[in-house]
Amino acid sequence: MAAALMYQAFTSTSLVSLGIYHLISTTRNHLKSPQSYSARPYHPSTHHPRLKHLPLYLLILCLFIAITHQALVSSDSDPLLKGSTPVHRFTSLQSAAVLFLFLLLSLALLLSESSSLLPLPSDLFFALAAAAFFLQYLVSSAAATVQTSDLQAKCDSTSARVSALCSFLCLLLSCQPRMFVADVGLGGCLCLQGLWELQTGLSLYVDAFIPEGCHRMLDVLSGVEGSTKCDLEESRLRAVAILDLLFVLHVMFVVLLVMVTYAVIAKTQAAVGVRRFAGSYDPLPTTAGDANHIQMKALTGTQA
């Protein structure tokens, strides 16, 4: 269970970092040129040629680690699942396949940004990303229906809804690339997905966060910790209500994060603009000698 919690924390950190980076880059580009703004699937981190594509390299590395984890999980046995068919193996392989699709999109984006081998238009990339997020929604929804854990099923179904929202926003951006609200919403949804991954790990694998009336099951014969189960229907309903409340709190936090990010970037851009404006003009004369000097310069330039 410690390994599962570490993986949830790793996934959460990766998604939140990606979402915040997208929020900052999108807001900065919109404030620089609102009239010519257009959504972009990737924003270079710097103009340095060696560090320009660093976020993409990190994203590809994180996806490779996630795919490896899902592949390893699919090979483990789980004696707590009902029936003789190892359902969790298929769900893990499905998750690995979806992650591999995201990996292919990331590699295609890297080739498109760094070379002319695959000139991928932004609208086409957003359309493909919409398809990938929708596939993730289907896989998460299917996983929620076969879970023996009440809490795991609730967490998977909530995560599926966030993936569906990401798919819808990507589809909007593929049709309307100038829609700044959808681009900001996509970054916020990535942050929300990351926060919910962390909440899932805490609610399933940390005893202090498991709702009252629910507990982690243990297969006595094999000594394998398995699903989190609620003893009574009343406890299950209470646990589901708590998870719904926590999700609302996460949404409120993401909304606050979006507003704070926009305010900070806007203030920073305004300060930079003021410094550039002040530096583009000569200071006004403060003494009569300075005024005469400027007038003589203007007279000399006119005579020439």
Report residue 300's pLDDT band, with 50, 70 and 90 as the boundaries.
very low
- Please, what is the average pLDDT of the chain? 82
- pLDDT of 114 reads 82
Is there a domain that residue 179 lies in?
yes
**Cα separation, 77 vs 89, whole angstroms:** 8
Give tens-digit pLDDT for 109-138.
999 888 878 888 889 999 999 999 999 999
Nearest to 194 by CA among 1, 78, 23: 23
Distances (CA, A) of 210 to 202, 235, 252, 268: 7, 11, 22, 42
Is there a domain that residue 276 lies in?
no
The Cα angle at residue 252 between residues 151 and 254, in degrees rounded to 5: 90
Show contacts of 258-265: CB within 8 Å, 24+ apart.
Answer: 258/23, 258/184, 258/187, 258/188, 261/20, 261/23, 261/24, 261/27, 262/27, 262/184, 265/24, 265/27, 265/28, 265/31
Is there a domain that residue 158 lies in?
yes
User: The domain containing residue 166 runs over which residues?
Assistant: 2-270
Give tens-digit pLDDT for 184-213.
999 999 999 999 999 998 888 888 888 888
Report residue 164's pLDDT band, with 50, 70 and 90 as the boundaries.
very high
119's torsion region: left (phi>0), alpha (psi -120 to 50) or beta?
A: beta
Distances (CA, A) of 186 to 24, 87, 164, 259: 12, 32, 11, 14
pTM above 0.75, yes or no: yes
Is there a domain that residue 297 lies in?
no
Residue 189 is encoded by which pair of tokens? 């949804």
Is there a domain that residue 204 lies in?
yes
Name the domain count of the chain: 1
Task: Count CA within 13 A, CB hemisphere, residue 290.
Answer: 6
Give tens-digit pLDDT for 18-66.
999 999 999 999 998 888 889 998 888 776 767 788 889 999 999 999 9
Is there a domain that residue 121 lies in?
yes
Is there a domain that residue 280 lies in?
no
Say if residues 70 and 92 touch (Cβ distance below 8 Å): yes
Is there a domain that residue 301 lies in?
no
